[in-house]
Amino acid sequence: MKISCRSTVRVLSIISFCMLLASCGIFDEKKIVSPEIVGENSNDDHFVSESINQKTLSEGKMLDDINSGILNRIPYGYNLIKFPQKFSSVFIKQTVRQLHGDAYRFSESGAVNKAGPIKETTIKRMEQNCNIDALPESMNTAFAVITKKTPLMLMPSNDVWHKDKKTKDRNLLHIDELSIGEAVAVLSVSSDKRYYLVQTRFARGWVPTVNLAFTRYLSWLKVVKPSDFAVVKAPVYRITLDTKDKKIYDYSMGDVILLDTSKSTFEKPVALLPVNENGILSYKNAELSTDSVSVGPLNPTRKNILAQARLYKNLSRSEYSYLEELRSNSRMFSRVYRSVGIYMPLDFDSMKKASPKSIELLGMPYEERLATFAKAKPGDLLFFDNDVALFYGTTPRYSKHVRGVAAYLYVDSVVNEIDYKPVAKQYDRIMVSDLRYQRPSGHTAINEVEFIGQFFSNNENSALLNDSQDVYDPLYIDELESASH
């Protein structure tokens, strides 16, 4: 049988195309399942509540632009999609030395652990455990996924450092908190083999080896930038697997959960929950509650940001002691923004760097500062020297006075809850306040706002942004109006 040259070329082209698909993981037997979502809404774009294609495209591009801008403004931010598979050990050594420098600065500023002030010998022992002297000249990246909520640490140690003897609200060695299912690039391992040095979306630091599992590169990329996923919209969401060990998964607002799209519908999304099988990543299914998650992020509007922030109001820090975000404004508001697809870092310093300085207030006289708040929009972030607040809006009745200029969610032991209402203060709970409360410096809060961060564009014609402030009034006006009587 004769075979023509044209047929030969066609066969070779098909073989080449199949080889290309195989190299991309299309024929990978253990790949993450990713067919289309099935069900009556299968033709809708599940990243937004509406199915208007043009609006969907504009929202997706807007979120990509916002998140790229955040990464570009953070010193250790990195687009993991572009992370190299091979790198020089000089990169590790520079990273570790920078982390050491931060540890020494904490020590010099008076940080303490349970034994007392941090000693240089304590840091030296941690430095030795970093194992940078034994590194080869060239290193390969390993790819992993977090399987248990874990802190990202400054040093490879489970030691607890506090700012001073009186301040014990957080461990200074904890740079960030990594959520279940988060992708990380593994760079190195400590001498005692108990910690990995990793690169996350926002930072570099150490995590316990037992809290992550390794996977292949192509599968890892699908976790870095998933196409089908749910986002937690409740402040806390716990899933218990129906297995012998009853494994528990604790999620917080804004956390991403991969979907098994071969089994998911909009009404009944089915999760792919990461499991650590002797250090190797696998997945188990669990049905998700649509009361606690949305399929894809919530529509990125200011109204949704305020509604999400409101879910934290009146939560007790003692009752929910395991929620770190209830002790930190930056963590709380970062999670609010993450629920609408804007991935802000949890750490305050990184968050402040990540935010665009849309409206500068530093050095502005009081009357001008007061008038400038007319440019702020509900959902914007108000940055102080060492803290952040969420702008909640103004009340019509008091729009010309400081007590009505800005009401916002805030968590701190010195907050005054609408202090013109004679009530017993409940400092344990997340509250709404105005900008009259007194900061530790003795000045009122409105005088210490350095800048206002706005993540949305100023295009008022955008369907995402063109929400009048009247839309938000019912979210807080009842609280402020009733508090005035």
Host H or E run for residue 150: strand 150-153
Nearest to residue 382, comparing CAs of 350, 345, 409? Answer: 409
Q: How far apart are CA 68 and CA 91, in angstroms?
A: 22
Q: Sign (positive/negative) of CA torsion 452, 454, 460, 466?
A: negative
Domain 302-483 has CATH 3.90.1720: yes
Token pair listed for 204: 């570099």
Which amino acid makes up residue 34? Answer: S
pLDDT tens for the chain, 485 residues long, are 444 555 554 544 544 544 444 444 333 333 222 222 233 322 322 222 233 333 343 456 778 888 888 888 888 888 898 888 888 888 889 999 999 999 999 998 899 998 899 998 999 999 999 988 888 888 899 999 999 999 999 999 999 998 888 776 678 899 889 999 999 999 999 999 999 999 999 999 999 999 999 999 999 999 998 889 999 999 999 999 887 778 899 999 999 999 998 898 888 999 999 999 999 999 999 999 999 999 999 998 888 998 898 898 888 877 888 888 888 889 999 999 999 999 999 888 899 999 988 899 988 888 888 788 778 888 899 999 888 988 877 655 444 444 445 455 554 433 333 333 333 444 577 877 777 766 667 777 888 889 999 987 554 333 344 344 433 333 343 444 343 33
Give the Cα separation of 111 and 106 in Å (integer): 5
CA distance 343 to 241: 28
Q: Rounded distance, CA 172 to CA 185, Å?
A: 23
Q: Would you call 105 helix, strand, or coil by DSSP? A: helix
pLDDT digits (tens, 9 = 90+) for 21-39: 444 433 333 322 222 223 3
CA distances to 154, 335, 379, 398, 408 from 446, in Å: 34, 24, 17, 15, 12
Q: What is the pTM of this model?
A: 0.78
Nearest to 325 by CA among 447, 411, 399: 411
**CA terminus-to-terminus distance, the chain:** 97
CA-to-CA distance for 333 and 328, rounded, in angstroms?
9
For the chain, which residues make up each domain, given as ranges?
25-73+226-296, 77-206, 302-483
Total number of residues shown for the chain: 485
* Nearest residue to 254 (alpha-carbon basis) of 181, 334, 316, 329: 334
Measured distance CA(29)–CA(393) in Å, rounded: 52
Give pLDDT tens digits for 372-404: 877 888 889 999 988 898 887 765 544 444 444
Give the phi and the psi of residue 407 in degrees, each rounded to 5: -115, 140
